[in-house]
Amino acid sequence: MKKVKFIYNPYAGDNYIMDKLDEVIDVHQKHGYRVVPERLDEEHNMAVAMEDIHEGYSQILIAGGDGTVDILINHMMERNIRLPIGILPMGTANDYAKYIGIPKDISKALEKMFRLPPMKMDVGKINEKYFINVASTGLLTDVSQKTHSELKNAIGKLAYYIKGLEQIPTFRKIPVKFTSEEKTYDGDMYALLVFNGRTAGNLDFAYKSKANDGLLDVILIKASFKEIVPLLAKMLRGDHLEDPVGLLYFQTKELFIETTDELIVSDIDGERGPDFPLHIQCIAGGIEVLGVDPNHI
């Protein structure tokens, strides 16, 4: 019988996975898989959960939000583990899982993973860390870090909007310099987002993105303060961002970013990222993902 390593974060989202463990095991057994569960906590971390991964496992199933998936991806990339990954979306936003078309319903998600072959997908890399969905910096990047998990669980993505609106009075220009093969920029900005996926907080920002094209989608917000509110409103509505006023949107394989502002940090899917300077690149086909709907990417 094939073995699947099932790693779950019991604290993700609204603890939904805790009531669905039997369902996960049942579906796998019907397909001839034995499930080996690993519950993540402060002591039983990802490194402990993955200690025996080379002992005959066929695939990995991860239940959690984008941040939990990032922890797994970092562990796998650093140790050159090349097993297919299935993602059960259990976080607040679940941007990447939604982007690739994974249903919230456990049985439907698992059946889709068994029905569709693994697909090679890109991974973003920022300095020595990896990310699955979006890396960012600037005045909006600490919204997820400052939004309490209780608020996220209670009202979902609305929590990000509330926290984002709270930050508007503190907006100030940030000096930034970035270089890539396609674009260079040396000036002020409010925020910079680099997408491997397409959405952030369920908002469809990088609508040109394909997570298996070997490219990252870069959005630089450089609007004046007078322009920033209508521009953010346009982004929140999911409007196309072809209008160049106050914004740059382009695709690249590699990007170098510098700033003289020592207070600015980077963010990886809602968690603190590395310090500046930043070297962001696309690792084409870096992972294999189960259940990817080709119509969603």
Task: Please give the domain boundaries of the chain with CATH numbers for all domains.
Answer: 2-122+287-296 (3.40.50.10330), 129-284 (2.60.200.40)
pLDDT digits (tens, 9 = 90+) for 2-36: 999 999 988 876 777 888 999 999 999 999 999 99
Is the bond leading into 244 cis (omega within 30 degrees of zero)? no
Strand partners, 249: 219
In 3-state terms, the chain is what percent helix, strand and coil (to 5)?
30, 35, 40
For the segment 151-159, the average pLDDT, to the nearest whole number, is 44
pTM of the model: 0.87
Provide mean pLDDT across the span 274-291.
Answer: 97
For residues 200 and 217, what is the distance between their CA atoms, to the nearest angstrom?
Answer: 12
Amino acid at 45: N
pLDDT in tens, 169-223: 566 789 999 999 999 999 999 889 999 999 887 777 888 899 999 999 999 988 7
What is the residue whose two structure tokens read 């991964």? 53
69, 62 in Cβ contact below 8 A?
yes
Between 147 and 290, the higher pLDDT residue: 290
